[in-house]
Structures are given as C-alpha cells and as structure tokens.
Amino acid sequence: MFIQWQADVAVHHDGIDSDHQRMFELVNDLYDAMQTDAPRDSIGKTLQMLMACTREHFEHEDRVMQEHAYEHRSEHGRKHAALLAQLDTFVQEFDNGKTAITPETMDFLKEWLVQHIRRDDMKLAVFLEQAAGSDSLP
C-alpha cells in the first residue's frame, strides 16, 4: 500500500470521508499497477476512474459547502478547479504517452490528493463541526 487513509485526514463527514477513502484506494491501485507493471490501458482505466471519482467528489463537497453556507466556498471551489485541471493534464499526458506511472508521478498524485485534504478540507471539517455543535444548542 502506498498511502493509507488515517484518522488524521478524517473530516468527520461520512460522505466526504468515504469519497476520500475511495480516492486513496484508486491512488493505491495505481501504485500496485506500477509495481506489477500493469498494461497501460488498464492504468488508463484506473486514471479515468480517479478523474470521475474526483469530479463527483468535488461536486459532492460543493453541495455540502452550499448547504452549510460555508464562507470559503468559492475559494475552495477554485482550488477544486485547479486540482481537477492538474489531474486532467496528467491524464492527458499519460494518454499521449508523454508520461507514465513512476515513483515521481506517484509522489505527485500523493501530494495532489493529501495536501488539499490537509489544508483545505480540514478547514471545512472544523467549520462543519462547529456548525453541528451550534445546531444542537437549544
């Protein structure tokens, strides 16, 4: 296993956490594919799944931000757009044979996935926790 989903990246929102776990799984699948020298087309399929999963996840997170009137929603949304563009560029380069799954590109994917969760999703998590706390007041 390349990266492990752990409590320190939990945002304590079941839907968001399970999306993140799925994304970790797909990045781990890419790592396994590298280790086992899997054929390019099967790696390409996993990358497409990661793209689809990411798109859905960002939409999902955006709905959660909207529902809770999160004050940093638009800034967070811009970060999602930038992340999606980065992944899209990587997948296109992969499809064009300009890049491959290597230890370096795995590190890129790891940072791509983990940094945003740590920096930005965690801020959202704190906000959601506070919102939940105030909802329970009499």
Write out the residues near Fe ion by the rule CB under 5 A. Answer: 61, 121
Q: Which is nearer to Fe ion, 25 or 99 (CB)?
A: 25
* Residue 130: CB minimum distance to Fe ion, A: 17
* Residue 133: CB minimum distance to Fe ion, A: 21
Q: Residue 74 corresponds to which amino acid?
A: S
Q: Which residue is nearest to Fe ion (CB)?
A: 121
Q: Which is nearer to Fe ion, 29 or 61 (CB)?
A: 61
Q: Which is nearer to Fe ion, 22 or 38 (CB)?
A: 22
From residue 5, alpha-carbon distances to 49, 74, 132, 135 in Å are 18, 27, 24, 29
Q: Which is nearer to Fe ion, 33 or 109 (CB)?
A: 109
* Residue 7: CB minimum distance to Fe ion, A: 16
* Residue 61: CB minimum distance to Fe ion, A: 5
